[in-house]
Amino acid sequence: MPKISYNEAITRVQHWNQIRLNKPSVINHLSSISHFETDSEFNMELFSMESVLHLYLGVDLTSNSDHPELQLLLLGRNADANAASGESTPNQVYVFSTKFKTQTSTQNTAESDGNVEHMDVQMADALITFWNEQYTSWVEDVIKKGDGPPNVFDTPLEGLDHLYHQSEQYNNSKKLFVFFGLRGIPYPALDIDLIFTPSADLEQLNHTETVRDFTSPKPPFGTSGIASYSLLGVSFV
């Protein structure tokens, strides 16, 4: 799994925050993304002392000057809080690999308004499809209402370990795959979600299996309410 320095993570989070209220830029970044995934070097045991993971959105301007890459940056909550308090600074920040769309989805559009922690594959497929069909309207709505897209998601670690080990059935190694989903609830800043699966191909999964939809998107806090979010604090500098 790619790793970057803490200072580089700051730069990428700042880049996202700079364009987060620019509708064309946000839509441009989201339009080409299929999903995010870990690689064979990632190990869940690295986060055994954590209960919650912080997943930040960031933009890598060095990946391609014409098409900067939207990324998910991973820090454990304890490491993040320690950095925010000045106690210690992480040596590195993990970066999910960004996978881009290769073809238009042919899935049917389906809408859900559930806030589900354990869902079946069919429900996950519906939320992902709803995102693919409606994300441009969501971006417009969330910017119009003033919040803009989130900077960071809280993700409980409980349950991810099961998915991580389960994924070996479908891949040559243990991996986690992350898709954007849309729930269709009234408050758009909380509408977006991250859906974790053990395979990039949901059709490959047995419909009796469960996936996880239990992230909490955090709206921009400005310069307050960010005691546990070091990268969020510096993104407003």
If you write DSSP's letter for every residue of 13-44 in order, what string do you get? HHHHHHHTT-HHHHHHHHHTEEEEE--TT--G
pTM: 0.85
**184-234: pLDDT as tens digits:** 766 676 788 888 888 888 887 765 555 655 567 765 554 455 778 888 777
- The burial class, CB within 10 Å (0-12 / 13-18 / 19+), for 118 is exposed
Kindly report the average pLDDT of the chain as a whole number: 79
pLDDT (tens digit, 9 = 90+) per residue, 141-158?
989 887 788 888 888 887
Mean pLDDT of 94-109: 63
Q: Report how far residue 152's alpha carbon sits from residue 6's, in angstroms, rounded to the nearest whole number.
A: 16
Phi, psi of 222 (to 5 degrees): 65, -130
The better pLDDT of the pair 221, 171 is held by 171
For residue 90, the SS3 value is coil
